[in-house]
A and B are shown apart, each in its own frame.
Chain A
Amino acid sequence: MAKFSAFSLAWNALSHHRNWTRYWQNPPLAKKYEVLIIGAGGHGLATAHYLAKNHGITDTAVLEKGWLGGGNIARNTVTVRSNYLRDESLPFFVKSVSLFEGLSKDLNFNLMYSNRSMIDVIQTYPKMREIRRRMMNGYLHGSSYSSIDVAELRRRVPALTGGGPESRLPIIGAMVHKEAATCRHDGVAWGYARSASTRGVEIHQHTEVKNLLRDKDGTIKGVETNRGTVLANKVAVVVSGHTTTITETAGLRLPIKSFNLAAFVSEPVKPLIDVIVNCPDLGVYLNQSDKGELVIGGAPDPGQSFRRDVKQNVFEEAVVTMLELFPAFRRLKLLRQWGGVLDIAHDATPIISATDIPGLFVSCGWWGGFKAVPAGGYTLAHLIATGQPHNVAAPFTLDRFHHLDFIVESGTTTAR
């Protein structure tokens, strides 16, 4: 793999950029691997990278039904943050943010990581109480979350002219999470894929897993795909919102539901908002991309869904509530909208776990799981390689449901 550097950029400019090498190889599909990872999204590719880098396991194939990085990794609003509530969640997300901070270097891939703070705009007292609880717990675990008054909020976000004393829900305060960042989401998928492929991992696109295969003794044996049977000693299901469609084929029932979450972007405008603004009482959040577009997300479609578009209803509600706080945005033209299928666990905490089927692992419940890609991959690789959960992900196993030991997490969703 050619190393990316200022020198390689200049060198390749001499040949009009025609000689760059491919990011990843396309070898033929073998009959058997040590590890199969189903899903070439952020989590699957990160797992492959850390399996190779941290544990020396390279006899791995990542199977993807569509194209690499075409799932939710390409559909999210790129917010990275660690301001969760629970003692069990905070160390994990703090770890993920710290891995993100060093990731461009680790992957030798410019992820345009932009540390820019997130400001939560608070309009109700129950939200204020919930968020103060998160603040106090954040301090214990090294995740900063501090309150500012309305005047300071308006100084930092001048476009926020709504929510005054006469409005339906006057703004009563705000919270700043300094570690929050945005970064180039496709780059995360491509960077991990390039690194894994260089270390010998195979990535097979357009390879859809239809069924999990089990041995007579019940252990996992491999998978059935549209390109034939592939055997493996260990199989990890890392397919985001489609987890149950695969685990059901082996009779494994999981405490998760799938929903549609959507986002949209405006036409590009001059630099206007330099932080991520989140309005949890209204259920809308936004940031401005490097191109100048406002990237806007709302609340999920309330009923279970496997659609990847946005419902008119959900879209209108996000726009209407946004205009309450940012009335000037009335004049913005919206350019594109899209959705993705995400799964969320019974207690809104992710699941990184072995299962009742020996050799089968799942990583799911990734609502808001872009921020979790580095730590999710890191800890799943650890679990696959050693058979033991990594300490920052140890609370995320399926055991917690067996013991009714839920980790009810209010920090999972930004919107509400």
Chain B
Amino acid sequence: MLILPCPFCGQRDESEFVNAGPTKPSRPDANVSDAEWVDWLTVPENPIGYIEEKWWHAKGCGKWFTIKRHTVTHEIVTADVMPDDVGKRTGETT
């Protein structure tokens, strides 16, 4: 049973949430190379370790938030900042 930390509602059961996938760096500007653009578009982080991902409290308050979760232990480290503006989020990796 995974318990997720909604910034508004607190600790809630996973069944109330929708996983929205790993975070992405913001859209690169138009003059990057084709290869860099394809990489941004199609290649996600896929570590055995912590992954930064977005969740949506769909069956709760409706808030979007970002956490770091371990892909083996499911341990959750809440990111220092928890912006609900998904589009503005910049990831730390390219």
> What is the distance, in angstroms, from B1's C-beta to the closest C-beta of chain A?
5
Contacting residues, chain B, for A302 (C-beta < 8 A): 18-19
Complex Cα distance, B72 from A307, in Å, reads: 5
Stretch from A185-193, A218-226, A249-257 forming part of the interface with B: A249-257
Complex Cα distance, B72 from A245, in Å, reads: 13
* Interface 0/1 of B62-75, CB less than 8 Å to A: 00000001011010
Task: Across the interface, name the chain B residue whose C-beta is closest to A256.
Answer: B46
Contacting residues, chain A, for B18 (C-beta < 8 A): 302
Contacting residues, chain A, for B47 (C-beta < 8 A): 244
Determine if A255 and B1 form an interchain contact, defined as CB atoms under 8 angstroms apart.
no
Q: Which of B2, B13, B18, B51 has the most CB of A within 10 A?
A: B2
Complex Cα distance, B18 from A313, in Å, reads: 13
Complex Cα distance, B16 from A317, in Å, reads: 12
| A313 touches which of B15, B35, B38, B46 (Cβ 8 Å) | B15
> What is the distance, in angstroms, from B37's C-beta to the closest C-beta of chain A?
9
Interface membership of A114, Cβ < 8 A = no
Complex Cα distance, B15 from A257, in Å, reads: 22
Determine if B38 and A402 form an interchain contact, defined as CB atoms under 8 angstroms apart.
yes
Number of A-B contacts (CB under 8 A): 57
Complex Cα distance, B22 from A323, in Å, reads: 32
Determine if A253 and B71 form an interchain contact, defined as CB atoms under 8 angstroms apart.
no
Task: Across the interface, name the chain B residue whose C-beta is closest to A245.
Answer: B48
Determine if B43 and A254 form an interchain contact, defined as CB atoms under 8 angstroms apart.
yes
> What is the distance, in angstroms, from B83's C-beta to the closest C-beta of chain A?
19
Interface membership of B42, Cβ < 8 A = yes
Complex Cα distance, B43 from A307, in Å, reads: 21
Contacting residues, chain A, for B35 (C-beta < 8 A): 402
Determine if A311 and B2 form an interchain contact, defined as CB atoms under 8 angstroms apart.
yes
Determine if B48 and A306 form an interchain contact, defined as CB atoms under 8 angstroms apart.
yes
Contacting residues, chain B, for A67 (C-beta < 8 A): none
Complex Cα distance, B4 from A311, in Å, reads: 14
Determine if A304 and B46 form an interchain contact, defined as CB atoms under 8 angstroms apart.
yes
Task: Across the interface, name the chain A residue whose C-beta is closest to B18.
Answer: A302
How many B residues, CB 8 Å from partner? Answer: 25
Contacting residues, chain A, for B13 (C-beta < 8 A): 313
Complex Cα distance, B43 from A255, in Å, reads: 4
Determine if B72 and A306 form an interchain contact, defined as CB atoms under 8 angstroms apart.
yes
Complex Cα distance, B39 from A255, in Å, reads: 8
Once A258-B46, A303-B53 are accepted as A-B contacts, the answer to whether A402 and B34 lie under 8 Å apart by CB is: yes
> What is the distance, in angstroms, from B72's C-beta to the closest C-beta of chain A?
5
Interface membership of B87, Cβ < 8 A = no
Task: Across the interface, name the chain B residue whose C-beta is closest to A403.
Answer: B38
Task: Across the interface, name the chain B residue whose C-beta is closest to A243.
Answer: B46
Complex Cα distance, B34 from A304, in Å, reads: 27
> What is the distance, in angstroms, from B39's C-beta to the closest C-beta of chain A?
6
| A305 touches which of B42, B43, B71 (Cβ 8 Å) | B71
> What is the distance, in angstroms, from B22's C-beta to the closest C-beta of chain A?
7
Contacting residues, chain B, for A402 (C-beta < 8 A): 34-35, 38
Interface membership of B44, Cβ < 8 A = yes
Determine if B43 and A313 form an interchain contact, defined as CB atoms under 8 angstroms apart.
no
Determine if B71 and A255 form an interchain contact, defined as CB atoms under 8 angstroms apart.
no
Complex Cα distance, B32 from A123, in Å, reads: 45
Determine if B2 and A258 form an interchain contact, defined as CB atoms under 8 angstroms apart.
no
Which residues of B are in contact with A by a Cβ distance under 8 Å?
1-2, 13-15, 18-19, 22, 34-35, 38-39, 41-44, 46-48, 51, 53, 69, 71-72, 74
11 A-B pairs whose Cβ atoms sit less than 8 Å apart in the complex: A303-B51, A304-B53, A305-B72, A306-B48, A306-B71, A307-B72, A313-B15, A317-B15, A346-B42, A346-B43, A402-B35
Which 5 pairs from chain A and chain B are nearest by CB? A255-B42, A302-B19, A346-B42, A244-B46, A303-B19
Q: Known A-B contacts: A257-B46, A313-B14, A343-B46. Give 20 more (CB < 8 A).
A: A244-B46, A244-B47, A255-B43, A302-B18, A303-B19, A303-B71, A304-B44, A304-B46, A305-B71, A305-B74, A306-B72, A307-B71, A311-B1, A311-B2, A313-B2, A317-B15, A346-B43, A401-B38, A401-B42, A404-B38
